[in-house]
Amino acid sequence: MSANNAKPSTSIRTPLSRVRGLGSAKAGTSDFFRQRVTAVAMVLLFVPVIVIIMSLLGRNQAGAAQILGSPLVAVIMILFIIASVWHMKIGMQVVLEDYVTDEKTKLAAIIANNFFSAAVGLASIYAIIKLSSGV
């Protein structure tokens, strides 16, 4: 059978995509959904966090520890930290994936983004736990 008699491809993938063996990473929708979920969580937690922060203004460490010593306050702050750090990580990863063209640089930047996000989240949660325990 000659090349002229071959059936036309019914695939919607581009020739370059077929050559590379790439295609959809199948992660865009889940990232979009997760970022919206974290945004909704931050909106719901925003008012209580602002009230907590306003009550902390002008207090020393003992006063802050007293306010953050409440389990409800500490949980609200930790939930806000988790939602905002996760939102930040996803948003930055999308920017890196869309605008960094060199694959090695992109991989290094995504790894750095993951480590940075984890460090910020863990340090923030540690600070809340330390202040709420009064240590």
The string of DSSP codes covering 72-90 is HHHHHHHHHHHHHHHHHHH
**Residue 55 resides in a domain:** yes
CATH code of the domain in which 112 resides: 1.20.1300.10
Nearest to 127 by CA among 85, 72, 64, 84: 64
**Residue 117: predicted pLDDT:** 98
At which residue do the structure tokens 């036309």 appear? 8
Radius of gyration of the chain (CA): 23
Q: Which domain holds residue 95?
A: 27-133
**Residue 59: predicted pLDDT:** 93
Tell me how many domains the chain contains.
1
Q: Determine contact, residues 117/88, Cβ cutoff 8 Å.
A: yes
Question: Can you give the pLDDT of all 135 residues of the chain as single tens digits?
Answer: 555 565 666 767 676 666 665 555 556 688 889 999 999 999 999 999 999 999 999 999 888 888 988 999 999 999 999 999 999 999 999 999 999 999 999 999 999 999 999 999 999 999 999 888 866
Helix axes 61-68, 103-133, angle to 10 degrees: 100
**Residue 19: predicted pLDDT:** 62
**Residue 22 resides in a domain:** no
**Residue 61: predicted pLDDT:** 83
Helix axes 71-99, 61-68, angle to 10 degrees: 90
pTM of the predicted protein model = 0.76
